[in-house]
Amino acid sequence: MPQVLVVADTADGLAAKPVQELLTLARRFGPPAVVLFGPDGHRAVGAVGAFGAERVFLVEDPLTTEGLVLPRVEGVLAAVAELGPGPLLVLTGSSPDARETAARLSLRLEAGLVTDAVDVAPDGDGRPVTRQSVLAASYQVQAALTTPVAVVTVKPGAVSPQPAGEPVTPQVQRVDVAFSGLARAVRLTARSERAATGRPELTDASVVISGGRGLGGPDAFALIERLADQMGGAVGASRAAVDAGWYPHAHQVGQTGKTVSPQLYLAVGISGAIQHRAGMQTSKTVVAINKDPEAPIFELADLGIVGDLHAVVPQLSEEIDQRR
């Protein structure tokens, strides 16, 4: 009987890398069950089976993908009721939706909650112990959850996804949810999709190239995009660049944007304000290009080039092309 319940983030797409990571972590605690939302959930059954999910709960009502948080909470609670005894541990992602779903689940299940964990593992008694970065990544905290049930939201990239030794054919169950009036009270009235860029997701890219106010305008983001494409990276931006309307908010790195932890972070025309550093300082290697030798970003850069980005970036792109 699974004791670990993985709650897919609807933003994950179908069994994309984030769910595979959660299932990889979940298996440390035993055979996992997984909740998938939305009418397309059944298409991911094979994929989650490959990562060891023994049971799959499909909560197909479109309210779970269109509504805001509460429909998903009620969907998970319905799945928990089907699961019988347990679960011991609920694992989900760290997007705003996932975190808020976790928040409300923690109240309903009277479960301790840890958000934004970068690791979760059982202690000697099988109880979850988490690790997280706090205060703009200046501290690492290890925490234990003392309640019978625990809810943990995990950052992308906490673990590299490992398929189960033996693929499992999950037992699949469709869950009908009797949604509360409150779950229907928040209505989606408009939605405008942005075109996909074809580049890797910011949060799981191993290379991130970010541009800031130093770019001077939206056009210079073409330099950043070219570099990103040459290196198979994702494009990030500072809040100043986003606020100026030069690049979409979904690409913002920092306190009120995404937290990234790539192998390489290249900051171009970014000063390195603490709110920006909060989102990138756990990157393995940091490189910065800035014309101001006193820019704070250099304090954490493994290599800093003091110069005009309009000269340095095109030259770098040329060099990369020549070295192919």
Partner 1 sequence: MRIVSLVKHTPDIEGDRRFAADGTLDRAAAEGRPCELDEYAAEQALQLAETHPGTQVTYLTMGPEDAASSLRKLLAMGGDGGVHVLDSGLHGSDAQASAAVLAAAIRRLGFDLVLCGMASTDAGMGVVPAMIADYLGVPQLTYAGRLSVADGSVEIDRETDTATQTYTASLPALVSVTDRTGEARYPSFKGIMAAKKKPVEVLSLADLAIEPARAGAAAAWTVVRDITPRPPRQAGERVMDDGAGGAVLADFLAARKFI
Site for ligand FAD in 283-322 (CB under 6 A): 289-292, 295, 308-310
Of the residues 22, 45, 59, 111, which one makes contact with partner 1 according to CB under 8 A:
111
Minimum CB separation of residue 238 from ligand FAD in Å reads 3
- 28 interacts with, out of partner 1, ligand FAD, none, CB within 5 to 8 A per kind: none
- Classified as helix, coil or strand, 216 is coil
Alpha helices in 274-323 (DSSP H): 274-277, 309-323
- 191 interacts with, out of ligand FAD, partner 1, none, CB within 5 to 8 A per kind: partner 1
Closer residue to partner 1 in complex, CB, 166/196:
196
244 binds partner 1 per the rule CB under 8 A: no
Strands 234-237 and 285-290: unpaired
Of the residues 39, 46, 140, 169, which one makes contact with partner 1 according to CB under 8 A:
140
Within its chain, how far is the Cα of 50 from the centroid? 21
**Positions 276 through 305 that interact with partner 1 (CB under 8 A):** 281-282, 285-287, 289, 293, 298-305
Within its chain, how far is the Cα of 321 from the centroid? 32
User: How is residue 255 written in tokens?
Assistant: 């306190």
Rounded distance, CA 309 to CA 5, Å? 48
Question: In this structure, what DSSP letter does residue 44 have?
Answer: G
Of the residues 50, 53, 137, 235, which one makes contact with partner 1 according to CB under 8 A:
137
Question: Is cis: bond before 87, omega within 30 of 0?
Answer: yes
Partners of 58 in beta bridges = 36, 174
**Positions 179 through 198 that interact with partner 1 (CB under 8 A):** 182, 185-194, 196
Question: Is cis: bond before 18, omega within 30 of 0?
Answer: no
- Please report, as ranges, the residues that interact with ligand FAD according to CB under 6 A: 212-214, 238-241, 252-257, 269-271, 273, 275-276, 279, 289-292, 295, 308-310
